[in-house]
Amino acid sequence: MTSEPTAPTGEPLVVLDQVNKHFGSLHVLQDIDLTVNRGEVVVVIGPSGSGKSTLCRTINRLETIDSGTITLDGKALPAEGKALARLRADVGMVFQQFNLFAHKSVLDNVTLGPTKVRRKSTSEANKRAMELLDRVGVANQAQKLPAQLSGGQQQRVAIARALAMEPKVILFDEPTSALDPEMVNEVLDVMIDLAKAGMTMVVVTHEMGFARKAANRVVFMADGQIVEENTPEEFFTNPQSTRAKDFLGKIL
Ligand code: ADP
Ligand code: MG
């Protein structure tokens, strides 16, 4: 697998500073400070409803925020227009439900963004898409429709589709939660390879094996707040807060 970090690792790539968001009276994100450095893998865990998906969605502005700032590679998130489209192209997203285009082939799912948004030629986009489908182990499925693939294969296509845009960071929102158990590892293995290759990743997951293997940092969220942030070793063996201890007690 080839590695594609564009710059030395370490400097801040995604920075959230005092981010707040409400849904009506629900204060879903409360004074969130979070820095994701280039090449870093940050795993976000926490109870259902704690704001993990909303946090991901604010980073590519699928959700607006009420106060605070979010910067990507040193630039503030644009609100609209072409700048927003460019930002979206820089932030890949992989969802629990795959969200592939049902009526397009696997190959077309991967080439659509690069041809429409990145203005790549069809031949160039096809070539790159086949490389990426090969990288995630589904090149032989390229002409099929998503529904003809297993869930694990579809999620690997979704990862290839995200990679095809050459994003600066990829956000994964519970990428294995909708999968049958026997398919979880084939997706996690692709994600572990990506992490090793230097991709910057924010991963919402309850897969503790993945967190231990691939995460540089674990962020624990509860009730709209970041309650704890630590290395996986420290977090899992020595959680500090009552809420983290309770949560780990339920899932481990
Ligand atoms: P998590 O991903 O940690 O389970 P979410 O970010 O999905 O949490 O949701 C956090 C809270 O915000 C939940 O109480 C949820 O019901 C609420 N919520 C999420 N999206 C919306 C929305 N579009 N409108 C209103 N409430 C929402
Ligand atoms: Mg969620």
209 alpha carbon to ligand 2 midpoint, in Å?
19
124 alpha carbon to ligand 2 midpoint, in Å?
35
Q: What is the pLDDT of residues 38-95, one digit of tens each?
A: 999 999 999 999 999 999 999 988 999 999 999 999 988 877 778 888 888 899 999 9
Q: What is the pLDDT of residue 252?
A: 75
CA separation for the pair 23, 41 (Å, rounded): 28
- To test the pocket of ligand 1, the residue of 53, 95, 171, 206 to mutate (highest count of ligand atoms within 8 Å of its CB) is 53
Tell me which ligand sits closest to the C-alpha of residue 54.
Answer: 1
Protein residue closest via CA to atom 24 of ligand 1: 23
**CB within 6 Å of ligand 1 — which residues?**
23, 26, 28, 46, 48-54
Q: What is the pLDDT of residues 124-140, one digit of tens each?
A: 999 999 999 999 999 99
